[in-house]
A and B are shown apart, each in its own frame.
Chain A
Amino acid sequence: MSVLRPFSASDMFKFNNINLDVWTETYGLSFYLNYLSTWPDLCYVQAAPSGRLMGYILGNAEGSNNDWHGHVTALTVAPEYRRLSIARKLTALLEFVSDTVYHAFFVDLFVRCKNEVAIEMYEGMGYSVWRRIREYYGTLGLGSRGRDEEDAFDMRKPLSRDSSRRSVRPNGREMIVDHTGV
């Protein structure tokens, strides 16, 4: 029960309840404007009937040849609106557009190896770990939880064009790459 609509530049005036959360980064204007001026059809918000923003997704399409894919760059939900399938619905539309408009082979996203809740959620949505990227995230200064904190899983979900499911491999968690190569 929320309004799904395109992310508009002026939503930057309204996203504080989402972005003040410690896990959500606020980037410079160029970041958002770059996404909106290039992939407006991969950027959406979910808003409550009152107009208050609940969450948003920013995505892009990238890669060449068989690697052509949709990518979830930012996906975030305000703390008060968690557990309402907001992320799931945002992602579903991004997948649909990646499939039907961009004809991508798969959609991928990065997640902290430590973030088991999110990983489980993405697995439930059809994503699986493709590889592990070393030191992908700059440390938040927490440090105590070791490598899982900084490393990311690259998770992928095949789209209809990847009929032979080449973007799925069983041993993805063991495929470790350096972040400089991503």
Chain B
Amino acid sequence: MERQIKPIYEALDTGSNKSAIVACNKLLKKQPKNDLVKTLKALALVRSQKVEESLILCDEVLAAKPTNDAVLTAMMHVLRGLGRHKDMVTMFEEAYKQQPNNEDLAAQTFFANVRILNWKAAQQIATRMHKQFHEDRYIYWSVISAILQANEPTTEPNMRTLLYKLAHRLVTSSPTPSYVNADRFHLHLSILRELELFDEARTLLESDIGKNICAASLSCNEIRRDIWRRQGLLEEEGTKAELRITEQNDRNWLEFLSVLDATFASLTSFKSDEQPDESAKTKCSSHAAKTEELFTKMALEEGHKDRSALLALLELEKRARIHGVSNDPNRLVDLMKRYFEEIGSKACCYEDLKPYLALEGEDAARWKSFLQSLTPSFASNNDLWRLINSHKLLRQNLSSDDLTIGAETDRATLYTQQYLEGLKLGAALPPTELQPADDLALLAGNVFVTLWKISSDEKYLYNAVALLEFALTKSKQSFHTRLMLIRIYRLLGAPSMALEHYRIMHIKQVEHDTLSHFVLSRSSTFSLAASGDLTLATECIESSQIYISNTQDTGEYIARAFTGEKYSQIPEFIIFEDRLENSLQRDLIKIEHLRMRLSHEAISSDIIDMELIELKFIFDRLHHDNRDFEILADYQPRASQKFNEQTLLFDKTEGPGWLTTFLKVYIRAFQQGSDLDDTVEEKLLIGDRPKHTSGQNKLTLKDRLRQRTDEELVELTPDELTFVNYATALADWLEPYHDHARPPPSVVLAEAAKLAEQKTGHPLKGVEIPPKNGNGNANGSAKKDEEAPPITEAPELVVRFFDDMKTRFEAVKDASSPSLTLHVASLIQEAFLLFIVETLRFKTPSVVKVHKLGALVQHFKPIRTNALAVLREVSSILLKRSEQDGTAEQRKSFVDACSPTTDLNIDHDFVLGVAKKITDSRKKVTEGVAKGIARVCTSYP
């Protein structure tokens, strides 16, 4: 047998699912009852997306209650693939029941519960396992399960305490002390911290072994530090930290913070409404003097080798000012100057000083004049860095009055000149290295963007592009330069250039979640899917792979952390998995992809049904925003918008409100267009339902879909808002007619059962087909006794939408960047496609006839005709525009606009090349969108 099974495994391992199925069928002919072969076939079927066929085998195997290791393992993969985690729990529970002495089965049952975060059951199993198998680690499995149950947001506070007390009892019941390994010790400490059993914690921590563990384990030491703080032992902790700093040469900033916290403990121990008395102030002053002495001595010894002491002195002075115990008004700026003198030649100087830059009056003036008095030098990298830091620091403190066109233009020129000068220092560097002068180009990029913002003149963005593209020829690996360019190219309506730079960065794996927003945010605006170019749609799918890996892999490592007893990691992995699973970006991509898909594929009830189910899953998620905006090189003044905000497409970023709004639009439209009401869906859907993470909302789904809040709507652009208003009016109008014409659930289920039986030869499980009452017809549209709802006119918002948007389009069609033009055009197309979705049901003449909706359909015609006329015109205007976008004249005007940059000795031909790329990219996108719209018009005449 083994000899015959082996090739099946090999086929599965290499992804040859087809040959695995063939091999299974062959074996099943001889041994039709073999569970392992059935399971392997089910697995191959799941992997080839043949879910229905796989389900039947899967259910057969489950019914047989397998205990064989190979069957269970393979079934684990099958059930995982089908999203049936709860069935996995049952399967292992059954197996464990049959073989209560099988430790491995017990562990699998435990893990199956962990997988669905059922901590209560997990805790009970672990306790049983400990009794039965006498392994200490099962006590700890039980302990952490209790803690994780306690930490669930839904656990009541008194239950939480009870669970922690249970955990505590369990830990102390362990025959071996927790300090045999650091992770057990960590777990124990976290319980003591929660229960505030500080004396017990101290005894453990002050034992030799406790001290040794904390010396080598950052996580145990973290919790130790926290326990000391919670006990209010700031001064004691400060003394310990001082010893670590002076005797063990520890330079962990956390130790310095402990010393600082201790310094001000005599004042911070007062409650916020109490005034510290004079003696407390005196005590603090003398402590501050001692701390200053310590750090000053260190700073002298270390010079520029380590910046800890210097920065600690700054932090000390900042806090002394806050608490009113500073005794030298010049000191803060003096320290900042000293910091700059010692550390100014390192890139981090600017960021280090940033928290101290909010200076006023005399301080601000002294600091500014100090920085201005520095003489620029290009003699060495260190000099160059000092120059760059001084620019960044000065710029951070500019007021809005300083940001005039004249002054900013001068700065752009200065930074560009100095950038070119600075390049000489890195002339000999290999191409893989970054140029030390890069940040000057990035500074100039920031300035150009501000100039564009205050003048609304696009020529500044052209200059930014010319300079940054040039900078990339000198420093190919500068991702900061690329990210900046990506933002600007999207503003300029050159999305293919943005994508090109994005791809060069080789974004992969988890980076997709944090960085794909750079090219996928509102990407349906630039999508050419309607014309058959699926570049962006593919990018959406590729970026979403990471969410599949998360579902497949992360759980596995949670189990491994249990096996390896790395308890400190388990809560972290759970948080990580949740953040990725419920990532905002994930579902923003989903919406963008949906919008592209509808423009590309023929709208059918299949698409409507599938998307409906998926969007409803998403709707109840509590999203986490993992998008990385901090990565942008932002050197804008404190008084100005941040670079990220300045360069957002259409000035808006999509947040949870935007997502919810679009989800509501599409769920409503699909719900109306679909025959799957909730009862049908419940019967037909396989796998676990999503865990509703967005809390207990008492409203029904229907009510929630109709809710609109200002907080949500504010995330939309004005044009998106118009679209959403249109969509809402359309849905409100058509809802009663859909509800009237939708076949009853029994008919839908009967139809689904019939299809399933045709496909698999088995009846659909759990669906009872009611006897036919005789008046069902082929379309499943049974004649109703009740009258059709009264037919009303189309709402004004729907009727006027296309004309209003055409006016809007006319107003933006000649903007030099096509971005906004395309935004409006793509929304008109989207509105039309939504109309198709909403009216699909009434395309079938028999439905209209049976339900007496002829009068309603009459209202569709003029709207549709008008929409098509508007779209055709938009398409032809865009097409005309695209011809102009790519002309030599456009290129020339780009190059002319770049004269400030070319005048500084950046090659004219190089800039011409950039101009060509931008104008080509613009031409490509406007032409593609125009053709796409034309195609949509022909698809739905």
One of B256, B354, B509, B576 near A26 (C-beta < 8 A): B509
**Interchain CA distance A140-B432 in the complex, whole Å:** 10
Is A146 positioned at the interface, with any CB of B under 8 Å from its CB?
no
Q: Does A28 contact B (CB under 8 A)?
A: yes
CB of A182 within 8 Å of the partner chain: no
Interface residue stretch chosen among B304-312, B365-373, B840-848: B304-312
Whether the Cβ atoms of B182 and A41 lie closer than 8 Å is yes
Residue B630 is within 8 A (CB to CB) of chain A in the complex:
yes
Whether A38 pairs with B564 at a CB distance below 8 angstroms is yes
* A9→B338 CA distance, assembly (Å): 38
CB contact under 8 A between A20 and B505, given known A84-B307, A96-B216:
yes
- Bound complex: CA of A12 vs CA of B254, how far in Å? 22
| B513 interfacial by beta-carbon distance below 8 Å | yes
Name A140's closest neighbour in chain B (CB-CB): B432
Known contacts A3-B252, A37-B560, A40-B566; A100/B508 CB under 8 A: no
B301 in the interface, Cβ–Cβ < 8 Å?
A: no
**A150: shortest Cβ distance to chain B, in Å?**
14
B510 with A26: CB separation less than 8 A = yes
Cα distance, A9 to B510, chains bound together (Å)? 11
Q: Mark B64-107, 1 if CB is under 8 A from A, else 0.
A: 00000000000000000000000000000000000000000000
When distances are taken between beta carbons in the complex, the residues of chain B under 8 Å from A81 are 347-348
Give chain A residues whose Cβ lies under 8 Å from the Cβ of B311: 1, 49
Shortest distance between the CB of A46 and any CB in chain B (Å): 9
Given A5-B218, A97-B216, CB of A33 within 8 Å of CB of B253: no
Whole-angstrom CA separation of A20 from B481 in the bound complex: 12
- A38 to B311 Cα, complex, angstroms: 36
Does B251 contact A1, Cβ atoms closer than 8 Å?
yes
Tell which of A22, A29, A80, A100 touches B549, judged by Cβ atoms closer than 8 Å.
A29
Inter-chain contact A1/B352, CB cutoff 8 Å: yes
B810 contacts partner chain A, Cβ-Cβ < 8 Å: no
* Residue among A17, A33, A83, A93 making CB contact with B573, cutoff 8 Å: A33
**Given contacts A10-B572, A12-B576, A13-B510, is CB(A100)–CB(B216) below 8 Å?**
yes
The residue that A6 contacts in the complex, of B222, B558, B626, with Cβ under 8 A, is: B222
Min CB distance B670 to A, Å, is: 32
**Within the complex, which residue of A9, A14, A16, A140 is in contact with B569, where a contact is CB–CB below 8 Å?**
A9
Given known contacts A21-B479, A28-B509, A1 and B514 CB-to-CB distance under 8 angstroms = no
In chain A between 112 and 130, which residues have their CB closer than 8 angstroms to a CB of chain B? none
Confirm or deny: B579 has a beta carbon within 8 angstroms of a beta carbon on chain A.
Answer: yes
Would you call B553 and A142 a contact (CB within 8 A)?
A: no
B477 touches A21 (CB 8 A): yes
Q: State in angstroms the CA–CA spacing of A17 and B508 once bound together.
A: 14
Q: Does A168 contact B (CB under 8 A)?
A: no
CB of B311 to closest CB in A, whole Å: 5
Could you tell me the distance between the alpha carbons of A79 and B480 in the complex, rounded to whole angstroms?
Answer: 11
The verdict on B434 contacting chain A, using a C-beta distance below 8 Å, is yes
Q: Is B282 an interface residue (CB 8 A)?
A: no
Among residues 12 to 66 in chain A, which have CB atoms less than 8 Å away from a CB atom of chain B? 12-14, 16-17, 19-23, 26-30, 33-34, 36-38, 40-41, 44, 48-50, 52
Q: Quick check: is A85 within 8 A (CB to CB) of the other chain?
A: yes
Give B277-327 interface residues, CB cut-off 8 Å to A. Answer: 305-308, 310-312
Assembled-state Cα–Cα distance A40/B163 (Å): 26
Residue on A nearest B218 in the bound complex, by CB = A6
Whether a CB of chain A sits under 8 angstroms from the CB of B554 is yes
B22: interface (CB < 8 Å): no
User: CA of A79 to CA of B633 in the docked complex: distance in angstroms?
Assistant: 13
For A52, list chain B residues within 8 Å (CB).
351, 630
Which of A9, A26, A89, A93 is the most central at the interface, judged by chain B CB atoms within 10 Å of its CB? A9
Mask: chain B, 541-584; 1 = CB below 8 Å from A; 0 = not:
00000100110011011101100101011001101100100000
CB pair A22–B564 under 8 Å, yes or no, is no
1/0 per position for B222-238, CB-CB distance to A under 8 A? 10000000000000000
On chain B, the number of residues with a Cβ less than 8 Å from chain A's Cβ atoms is: 63
Given A1-B306, A29-B554, A50-B351, the answer on whether A38 and B576 have CB atoms closer than 8 Å is no
A84 to B812 CA separation, bound complex (whole angstroms): 51
The answer to whether B253 and A37 have CB atoms under 8 Å apart is no
**Distance from B900 Cβ to chain A, minimum over Cβ atoms (Å):** 28
Instruction: Find out whether the CB atom of B557 lies under 8 angstroms from the CB atom of A100.
Output: no
Residues of chain A within 8 A of B576, CB atoms compared? 9-10, 12
Task: Say whether B939 faces chain A, with CB atoms less than 8 Å apart.
Answer: no
**Which of these, A27, A37, A97, A101, contacts B564 with CB under 8 Å?**
A37
Q: A interface, how many residues as a size bin?
A: 35 or more
Contacting pair A29 B479 (CB below 8 A): no
> Residue-by-residue, is B598-632 near A (CB-CB < 8 Å gives 1, otherwise 0)?
00000000000000000000000000001010110
Known contacts A2-B253, A9-B575, A84-B307; A101/B477 CB under 8 A = no
For the complex, what is the distance from the CA of A56 to the CA of B148, rounded to whole Å? 28
Interface residue? B202 (CB, 8 A): no
Q: How far is the CA of A10 from the CA of B505 in the complex (A)?
A: 22
Report the separation of the CA atoms of residues A63 and B432 in the bound assembly, to the nearest whole angstrom: 34
Which single member of A13, A19, A29 contacts B626 (CB below 8 Å)? Answer: A13
Q: Does B346 contact A (CB under 8 A)?
A: yes
Q: Is the CB of B546 within 8 A of A37?
A: no
Our pick among A10, A38, A41, A97 for the contact of B560 (Cβ within 8 Å) is: A38
B301 CB to closest chain A CB (Å) equals 15
User: For the complex, is B122 an interface residue (Cβ under 8 Å from A)?
Assistant: no
Q: How far is the CB of B549 from chain A (nearest CB, A)?
A: 5
The closest CB in chain A to the CB of B549 belongs to: A29
Question: Is there a chain A Cβ closer than 8 Å to B533's Cβ?
Answer: no
In the complex, chain A residues whose CB is within 8 Å of the CB of B505:
20
How far in angstroms is the closest Cβ of chain A from B20? Answer: 24
Whether B511 is near chain A, meaning CB under 8 Å from some CB there, is: yes
Taken together as a complex, chains A and B put the C-alpha atoms of A140 and B433 apart, in Å, by: 14
Chain A CB within 8 A of B217 CB? yes
Does the CB pair B216–A79 fall under 8 Å?
no
Residues of B within 8 A of A10 (CB): 572, 575-576, 579
A44–B311 Cα distance when bound, in Å, is: 22
Question: CB < 8 Å: which of B515, B549, B554, B564 contacts A16?
Answer: B515
With beta carbons under 8 angstroms apart, the residue of B215, B253, B477, B568 that contacts A1 is B253
From A12, A13, A26, A83, residue with most partner B Cβ within 10 Å: A13
For residue B893, CB closer than 8 A to chain A, the reply is: no
Name the B residues within 8 Å of A13 (CB-CB): 510, 513-514, 579, 626, 628
CA distance A101 to B182 in the complex (A): 10
Contact partners of B183 in chain A: CB under 8 A: 40
- Please name the residue on chain B nearest to A51 by beta carbon: B630
Pick the contact of A17: B254, B510, B631 (CB < 8 A): B631
Residues of B close to A21: CB separation below 8 A = 477, 479
Report whether A20 and B631 are in contact in the complex, using a CB–CB cutoff of 8 Å: yes
The reply to whether A33 and B515 form a contact with Cβ atoms under 8 Å apart is no
Q: Within the complex, what minimum Cβ distance (angstroms) separates B420 from chain A?
A: 21
> Closest Cβ of chain B: how far from A138's Cβ, in Å?
14
Interface contact B572-A19, CB-CB below 8 Å:
no
Task: State whether B351 touches A22 (Cβ < 8 A).
Answer: no
Contact of A37 among B351, B352, B550, B573 (CB under 8 A): B573
Q: Which residues of B contact A100 (CB under 8 A)?
A: 212, 215-216
Flag whether B330 is at the interface (Cβ < 8 A): no
Q: Which residues in chain A, 75-111, are within 8 Å of chain B measured between CB atoms? A: 79-85, 89, 93, 96-97, 100-101
24 inter-chain pairs at a CB distance below 8 angstroms, sorted by A residue, are A1-B306, A2-B251, A2-B252, A3-B253, A4-B253, A6-B222, A8-B572, A10-B576, A13-B579, A23-B432, A28-B509, A28-B549, A29-B510, A29-B549, A29-B553, A37-B566, A37-B573, A38-B560, A38-B566, A41-B217, A41-B218, A52-B351, A84-B346, A97-B217
Chain A residues with a Cβ under 8 A of chain B: 1-6, 8-10, 12-14, 16-17, 19-23, 26-30, 33-34, 36-38, 40-41, 44, 48-50, 52, 79-85, 89, 93, 96-97, 100-101, 140, 142
Known: A80-B347, A84-B307. 15 other contacts (CB 8 A): A1-B307, A1-B312, A6-B219, A21-B477, A23-B432, A26-B509, A28-B509, A33-B560, A36-B569, A36-B573, A37-B557, A37-B573, A50-B355, A83-B346, A100-B212
Nearest 6 pairs of A and B residues by beta carbon: A9-B576, A33-B557, A1-B308, A20-B479, A37-B561, A80-B347
